[in-house]
Chains A and B, each alone.
Chain A
């Protein structure tokens, strides 16, 4: 859904990009060329100082309407250089795009309405095949917390910030950072004198980025030349409910190389999945917490992996 907004705002001339396919369709058959596919399309139209790089999903959250603001143009610059770097893949990508456009003869016409073709474009929907041999769980883990970091790229006077900003705490004896909160999106930021900042509490990647931007703006308004460099999501936490009780004792026996279960220490089984590298906390009630993800898809993938295993350990009622 967020991706849809990006297209409406930033591709007034439309692009060949998304008329034929949703990015997921493109992604599955065309693995290596994908990076170049969209990159080439983007390089062709006029100079987009918008920072849309390839459709490689991990870049998507970096594109926001805010990027048009000058003070945040650093971000755009980084993206633009990545874009240029992908130009080299033009040839291959050209070929693959032709193949895909065959299925949609009208695709060649750039049209702003092309974005209407992809109403289902959500940057982070899980890549579960619609019809798979094994049924998917039908349960979607909900994101509960996102931790991200960003570099404001200037030294900060924390006392100054604590005294003039609203909703700030600064107790250097205990912790040498300002703890600031905003109500929308409801998040907390730790701001350090080096200019680096941690933003926690957001429920989505976009919200985390938006919140970080708001904190940066607060710092900026206080007179510091804050920038917005290297925004990165460091951790994502999700949770869901399988709706049946689970035999944790059984699970820890059969999956001992991945599980640790010490009910006297902690009531949940800690399952360290290898691929994707996600840690799951599994409880007798059937509630599951997933953490350690850098991308939303890892959470979804981990849950789809664990669900059949958990079904096998359903407590007989």
Chain B
């Protein structure tokens, strides 16, 4: 069900929001292939209670956790 959003997209009833999308406009690029998400964000602040880290560019590579998606064969 996590793919509901993409159901709509694949039918071409595009959700432009994914571009407009938040990350407050600092999303540079995204990619989804082989069930792996890759994001590149710009001007990001990582905030923890004690610390603050600012970076110009961050690349996030994310795979499915748990068992979602891992059972279905390619």
Interface of A is mostly: strand
Residues from chain A with Cβ under 8 Å of B3 in the complex: 171, 174
Residues from chain B with Cβ under 8 Å of A165 in the complex: 31
Asked if A188 and B33 make an inter-chain contact with CB atoms under 8 angstroms apart, the answer reads no
Asked if A198 and B31 make an inter-chain contact with CB atoms under 8 angstroms apart, the answer reads no
User: A179 in the interface, Cβ–Cβ < 8 Å?
Assistant: yes
User: A147 in the interface, Cβ–Cβ < 8 Å?
Assistant: yes
Asked if B19 and A198 make an inter-chain contact with CB atoms under 8 angstroms apart, the answer reads no
Asked if B29 and A166 make an inter-chain contact with CB atoms under 8 angstroms apart, the answer reads yes
In the bound complex, how far is the Cα of B6 from the Cα of A172, in angstroms?
12
Residues from chain B with Cβ under 8 Å of A167 in the complex: 19, 29-31
Residues from chain B with Cβ under 8 Å of A186 in the complex: 16, 19-20
By beta carbon, the residue of chain A nearest B18 is: A181
Asked if A188 and B32 make an inter-chain contact with CB atoms under 8 angstroms apart, the answer reads no
Asked if A173 and B74 make an inter-chain contact with CB atoms under 8 angstroms apart, the answer reads yes
Which among B10, B16, B29, B34 is the interface contact of A201 at CB below 8 angstroms? B16
Chain A nearest Cβ from B8, distance in angstroms: 11
In the bound complex, how far is the Cα of B39 from the Cα of A166, in angstroms?
10
In the bound complex, how far is the Cα of B13 from the Cα of A188, in angstroms?
9
Which among A147, A169, A200, A201 is the interface contact of B32 at CB below 8 angstroms? A169
Asked if B32 and A174 make an inter-chain contact with CB atoms under 8 angstroms apart, the answer reads no
Residues from chain A with Cβ under 8 Å of B30 in the complex: 166-167, 169
Asked if B31 and A169 make an inter-chain contact with CB atoms under 8 angstroms apart, the answer reads yes
Interface extent on B, as a size class? 20 to 34
User: B12 in the interface, Cβ–Cβ < 8 Å?
Assistant: yes
Bitwise, A151-162 to B at CB < 8 A (1) or not (0) is 000000001001
A 148-202 contacts with B by CB, 8 A = 159, 162-163, 165-175, 177, 179, 181, 183, 186-188, 190, 198, 200-201
Chain B nearest Cβ from A212, distance in angstroms: 13
Asked if B9 and A188 make an inter-chain contact with CB atoms under 8 angstroms apart, the answer reads yes
Residues from chain A with Cβ under 8 Å of B34 in the complex: 159
Residues from chain A with Cβ under 8 Å of B29 in the complex: 166-167
Residues from chain A with Cβ under 8 Å of B19 in the complex: 167, 181, 183, 186
Which among B6, B14, B20 is the interface contact of A200 at CB below 8 angstroms? B14
Asked if A171 and B12 make an inter-chain contact with CB atoms under 8 angstroms apart, the answer reads no
Chain A nearest Cβ from B73, distance in angstroms: 9
Residues from chain B with Cβ under 8 Å of A172 in the complex: 74
Residues from chain A with Cβ under 8 Å of B72 in the complex: 173
Bitwise, A67-95 to B at CB < 8 A (1) or not (0) is 00000000000000000000000000000
B 24-44 contacts with A by CB, 8 A = 29-35
Asked if A162 and B32 make an inter-chain contact with CB atoms under 8 angstroms apart, the answer reads yes
By beta carbon, the residue of chain A nearest B7 is: A174
Residues from chain B with Cβ under 8 Å of A162 in the complex: 31-33
Q: A183-B19, A200-B14 are in contact. Are A163 and B6 (CB under 8 A)?
A: no
In the bound complex, how far is the Cα of B6 from the Cα of A168, in angstroms?
13
Q: A188-B9, A190-B10 are in contact. Are A168 and B16 (CB under 8 A)?
A: no
In the bound complex, how far is the Cα of B9 from the Cα of A198, in angstroms?
12
Asked if B6 and A169 make an inter-chain contact with CB atoms under 8 angstroms apart, the answer reads yes
Asked if A166 and B9 make an inter-chain contact with CB atoms under 8 angstroms apart, the answer reads no
Asked if B32 and A170 make an inter-chain contact with CB atoms under 8 angstroms apart, the answer reads yes
Task: Tell which of A172, A179, A187 has the most Cβ of chain B within 10 Å.
Answer: A179
What is B's interface to A at a CB cutoff of 8 Å? Answer: 3, 6, 9-10, 12-14, 16, 18-20, 29-35, 72, 74
Q: Would you list 10 pairs from A and B whose C-beta atoms are within 8 A, ordered by A residue?
A: A162-B31, A166-B31, A168-B33, A179-B10, A181-B16, A181-B19, A183-B19, A198-B12, A200-B14, A201-B16
